């Protein structure tokens, strides 16, 4: 599965076990590592170039990622979505065994070396409290809860770089919808091997 799909489904599965999912809207913030080692090295080099007052000219990615971000560069389809976004929708439905699940995704490449992040809005068929969601995620295999509202401390790419768990936090009620929650997650997609993912997701479903 797509790396962003893996991170998303690890967070969705324990919640779907409590309440049926109706709709998911996700925005991804994908690091340079998703485009490979050359993209990571180019980000390092072009960041130095910009700091030294030079012009950042990318050869690996379609645009410079140094102090910049851009919509995912996978091929665009006739419906306006890119291949990465459609792959995420199709794979999430398949993994979650919910072929009719409503999903929407926007994928963005950001100037982070390693680990992807996602902002997720989840609508359920019936209300799910923040406390229930937090408890389920805290106990889920492959998931780590990082959440401190007093200090504004939530998951960051540096929390998960080189580590297996997907960090989830800032779980909150969607103020515009009584049956929807919002959350934020980060995960090192390089560490999330396919075998480990399959086992963890199967345990949750």
Tell which residue, 83, 72, 2, has the closest CA to residue 32. Answer: 72
The verdict on whether 82 is a catalytic residue reads no
Query: Which position among 3, 82, 107, 186 bears the catalytic label?
Result: 3
Say whether 116 is catalytic.
yes
Q: What is the Cα–Cα distance from 146 to 16, expressed in whole angstroms? A: 20
Catalytic residue among 72, 107, 116, 186: 116
Residues known to be catalytic: 3, 116
């Amino acid at each position: 599965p797509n790396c962003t799909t893996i991170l998303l489904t690890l967070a969705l599965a324990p919640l779907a076990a409590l309440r049926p999912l109706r709709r998911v809207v996700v925005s991804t913030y994908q690091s340079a590592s998703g485009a490979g080692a050359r993209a990571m090295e180019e980000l390092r080099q072009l960041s130095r170039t910009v700091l030294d007052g030079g012009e950042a000219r990318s050869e690996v990615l379609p645009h410079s990622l140094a102090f910049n971000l851009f919509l995912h560069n996978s091929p665009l389809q006739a419906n306006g979505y890119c291949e990465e976004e459609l792959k995420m929708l199709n794979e999430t439905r398949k993994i979650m065994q919910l072929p009719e699940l409503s999903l929407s995704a926007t994928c963005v490449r950001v100037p982070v070396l390693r680990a992807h992040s996602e902002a997720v809005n989840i609508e359920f068929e019936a209300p799910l409290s923040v406390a229930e969601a937090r408890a389920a995620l805290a106990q889920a295999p492959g998931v780590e809860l990082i959440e401190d509202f007093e200090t504004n401390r939530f998951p960051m790419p540096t929390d998960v770089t080189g580590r297996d768990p997907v960090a989830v936090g800032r779980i909150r009620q969607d103020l515009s919808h009584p049956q929807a929650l919002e959350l934020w997650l980060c995960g090192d997609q390089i560490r999330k091997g396919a075998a480990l993912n399959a086992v963890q997701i199967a345990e949750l479903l």
